[in-house]
């Protein structure tokens, strides 16, 4: 009898799911947003969390959490390589020069400058397929897949960076600053940038941790990832009694590694120079187990998300950026954004295309110099103020 060949992907069906490593949550019970979501994280249950860089928090409580292999996934249709970018090469390099002028004037010491890439996406494209591609081609310590239709969440992350983990009263953050193809290619600027952000994170954690407990457990450790290496530091502390998630997020969000220092000045610089909101990119993606006082939130980098534009087009978005200091070279910073994006963009099926270079510069993708429809970001305000809106 001839062997029967079964296409396991044909058994896949779209369901709401939150997947973190081998931890899979299914059966959405509640979806809450804003201040209500912050309060819910301290109640009960297992919550999947997505918080945009602009401070919009969405939390979904799941009924069942188990450990299992991801199982069959649908196929992923390769994208055609046409990515639009919110900042083209010339605009990006000009913005780097502007940040250096602000540093010289003493208004900011370091600022992260980011751009958002955008690709049209078919209505029937299932990001479960992209999640499977990323798990095979770019395994990451904080990889996740969150889809909750009622919350309009459709996110796949291959984040290498821990924003916050919580185990009881222990709170840990591991900022990444410094990126190169090899450890030998790290520059003095990379180490200086890392130390600067470590100081910022220490200050953030000290606002919610007991005095004398905040400690730098690792400084500028070289950590390999697919296609590049990072400098990673680890800062930890013990939470004060009575501190809740609202206090923690007010003290630490947005993550210092993707803003700059001082954080308030860096946020103003980002608002002035970046033409579109970052969305989940550079925000927080992860889970909170309110029953066990445990959590794992990644910085939303190396992250794709699908959403609708104002005119109803479905698009896939991805962000990339670099930390700018006085020692930054504009051309090198632009190249760093391409290095960070190249592997992930390549795994979408865009071939060897450079991620979002406009025509005439190491071209990958013709198209407008920015995503066509995202609105201008609101003025920067404190996270707590955003939740009160």
Using CA atoms, how far apart are residues 336 and 333, in angstroms rounded to an integer? 5
Q: Which phi and psi angles does 90 have, rounded to 5°? A: -65, -45
Distance CA 290, CA 198 (A): 28
Strand-pairing partners, residue 146, are 18, 155
Looking at residue 157, the DSSP 8-state letter turns out to be: E
pLDDT at 328 over 50: yes
Average model confidence (pLDDT) for the chain? 88
Strands 46-51 and 17-20, sheet pairing: unpaired
The band of 69, judged by pLDDT with boundaries at 50, 70 and 90, is confident
Residue 348 to residue 99: CA distance in whole angstroms: 32
**Residue 168 tokens, joined:** 């009881």
| pLDDT value of position 11 | 52
258-269 mean pLDDT: 96
Give the tens place of pLDDT for each residue, 265-297: 999 999 999 999 999 999 999 999 999 999 999
pLDDT of residue 14: 80
pLDDT at 350: 61
The residues that bridge with 218 in the sheet, in sequence order, are 234
Rounded to 5 degrees, what angle do the CA atoms 36, 40, 45 make?
150
Query: What are the E-state strand segments in the chain?
Result: 17-20, 23-33, 46-51, 57-67, 84-85, 110-120, 142-148, 153-159, 162-167, 170-174, 176-180, 215-225, 228-238, 260-261, 284-289, 294-299, 303-308, 314-324
> What's CA 244's distance to the chain center, in Å?
23
Q: Report yes or no: 227 and 160 within 8 Å, Cβ to Cβ.
A: no
Q: Over pLDDT 70: what percentage of the chain?
A: 86
Average pLDDT value for residue range 347-365: 53
Tokens of residue 253, six digits? 């969000």
pLDDT in tens, 8-39: 444 556 889 999 998 999 999 999 999 999 99
pLDDT of 353 above 70: no
What number is the average pLDDT over the span 169-198?
Answer: 93
Q: Which residues contact 340 (CB under 8 A, 6 or more apart)?
A: 179, 228, 301, 302, 320, 321, 322
Determine contact, residues 26/63, Cβ cutoff 8 Å. yes
Tell which phi-psi region holds residue 41, choosing left (phi > 0), alpha (psi between -120 and 50) or beta: alpha
Beta-bridged to residue 260, according to DSSP, are 111
What is the average pLDDT across 151-177? 97
Mean pLDDT of 373-383: 44
pLDDT of residue 360: 33
For position 78, what pLDDT does the model report? 93
Structure tokens that stand for 166 in this block: 């919580």
- Cα 177 to Cα 197, 230, 253, 255: the distances in Å are 8, 7, 17, 12
- Cα dihedral 128, 132, 137, 138, rounded to 10, equals 60
Q: Mean of the pLDDT values across residues 191-205?
A: 95
Write the DSSP assignment of 317-354 as a string of letters: EEEEEEEE-TT--HHHHHHHHHHHHHHHHIIIIITT--
Q: What is the mean pLDDT of residues 248-265?
A: 97
Structure tokens at 243: 């501190």
Task: Give 333's contacts (C-beta < 8 A, 6+ positions apart).
Answer: 92, 93, 96, 113, 322, 324
Residue 361 banded pLDDT, cuts 50, 70, 90: very low
């Amino acid at each position: 009898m001839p062997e029967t060949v079964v296409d396991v992907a044909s058994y896949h069906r779209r369901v709401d799911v939150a997947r973190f490593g081998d931890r899979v949550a299914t059966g959405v019970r509640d979806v809450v947003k804003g201040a209500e979501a912050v309060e819910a994280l301290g109640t009960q249950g297992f919550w999947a969390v997505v918080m945009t860089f602009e401070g919009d928090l969405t939390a979904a409580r799941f009924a069942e959490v188990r450990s299992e292999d991801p199982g069959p996934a649908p196929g992923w249709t390769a994208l055609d390589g046409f990515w639009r970018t919110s900042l083209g090469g010339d605009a990006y390099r000009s913005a780097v020069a502007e940040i250096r002028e602000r540093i010289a004037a003493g208004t900011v010491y370091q600022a992260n400058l980011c751009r958002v890439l955008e690709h049209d996406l078919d209505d029937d494209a299932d990001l479960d397929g992209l999640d499977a591609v990323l798990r095979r081609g770019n395994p990451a310590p904080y990889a996740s897949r969150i889809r909750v239709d009622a919350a309009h969440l459709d996110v796949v992350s291959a984040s290498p960076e821990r924003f916050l983990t919580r185990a009881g009263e222990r709170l840990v953050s591991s900022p990444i600053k410094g990126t190169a193809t090899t450890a030998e290619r790290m520059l003095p600027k990379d180490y200086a940038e890392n130390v600067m952000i470590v100081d910022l994170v220490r200050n953030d954690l000290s606002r919610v941790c007991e005095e004398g407990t905040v400690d730098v457990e690792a400084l500028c450790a070289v950590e390999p990832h697919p296609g590049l290496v990072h400098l990673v530091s680890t800062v930890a502390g013990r939470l004060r009694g009575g501190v809740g998630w609202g206090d923690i997020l007010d003290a630490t969000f947005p993550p210092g590694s993707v803003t700059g220092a001082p954080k308030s000045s860096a946020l103003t610089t980002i608002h002035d120079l970046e033409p579109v909101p970052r969305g989940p990119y550079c925000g927080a993606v992860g889970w909170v187990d309110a029953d066990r006082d445990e959590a794992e939130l990644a910085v939303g980098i190396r992250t794709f998300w699908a959403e609708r534009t104002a005119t109803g087009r479905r698009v896939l978005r991805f962000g990339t950026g670099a930390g700018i200091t006085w020692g930054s070279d504009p051309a090198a910073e632009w190249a760093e954004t391409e290095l960070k994006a190249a592997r992930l963009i390549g795994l979408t099926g865009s071939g060897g295309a450079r991620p979002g270079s406009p025509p005439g510069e190491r071209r990958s993708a013709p198209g407008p110099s920015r995503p066509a429809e995202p609105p201008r970001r609101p003025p920067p305000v404190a996270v707590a103020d955003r939740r009160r809106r």
